Structure 1
């Protein structure tokens, strides 16, 4: 894909999926994940939140040293290609908020837990319908609970009022966290 994009879409930057980067890190660094409970949190925070190149590289270096991963081939390769996936290297590029193939990949991951790869088509359809029904039930329960418990608005800005009317409580909490974090920035 990257080769074709270079020749046909010269102004486009090919980006690696953050979801895959994190999943592969978990798979390839399993011992570190299980042995050092803070590593996963620190690594995910770095990959997800850091927007400054210098801070990203400094924190990466600190993590590698702290957890004695300087010889890890996977991390060496990941760092070598950081401009393809790390957030600070995409700050000036419009990506429409997409950092990964998260929707299709996370749905694919959930389906794999319910449906075996070699499942015959008629069983796949039955299991998929069961899965879809379960998801719909969960959504309905969340909507019901959302409508039963009134929320106290915390900031009092119009966008918060609007979010309160359209989001479930779980999505509203995610929205509120973003709204709260946005208070750190000066808009010019």
Structure 2
């Protein structure tokens, strides 16, 4: 990294790695991958939420749409009290680790794409549709080039769509306004 320490780091929920990162990069803002945390929590919360769709909606609203720490904490507490789920161990664990995965705690930091391995796994799945293990190196290069052209065409189309119809701003915060000018609508609305 050119002798520069990273400013922001996202990892899986590995607490030994977390301790090592804090020691090696003490000034870096460190968070856990929200996708992995939610995926792991859904193993136990999925059936729990299936019987309580209103609770599931309140959970998603709280986690995905809180813009400040105070707003998140207030809506979380209201959710817990409204649905009487104080004894749910998974929700209690998520609450204890909230400072590492809830976006509201990282509003001052720039984390453009929060997924870690999910992104590379997604690209690998796309690549497998274009390239097979039996391909020669020349076939691989041609197929990979075709994939790049398809991605480039899609990106150009997204840029054109964004130029024609700018995204709708929700908060009018300076950072939101700046990001709306930099990203395509598809990325901005993620």
Partner Cα distance (2:69, 2:81) in 1? 18
Q: Is the 8 A contact 1:18 1:99 kept in 2?
A: no
Cα distance between partner residues in 2 of 1:106 and 1:40: 25
Q: C-alpha offsets along residues 75-106 of structure 1, whole Å, 9 cap, x if unaligned?
A: 111111111112232233x2x3336225x404
Structure number having the greater strand percentage = 2
- 2:58 match: secondary structure: helix
Could you say which residue in structure 1 is the equivalent of 2:32?
Answer: 16
The farther-off stretch of 8-17 and 43-52 is 43-52
Q: Which consecutive residues of structure 1, in runs of 5 or more, have no partner in the other structure?
A: 124-128, 147-165
* Length, aligned pairs only: 152
Q: CA deviation at 1:12?
A: 1.7
SS across alignment from 1:98 = coil
Q: CA RMSD in A?
A: 4.1
TM-score (norm 2): 0.57
Equivalent in the alignment of 1:75: 91
**Distance 1:98-1:40 versus aligned 2 partners, 3 A rule:** farther
Match of 1:7 in 2: 23
Alignment deviations for residues 148-183 of structure 1 (CA, whole Å, 9 cap, x no partner): xxxxxxxxxxxxxxxxxx5264x6799613xx2144
1:46 is aligned to 2:37: no
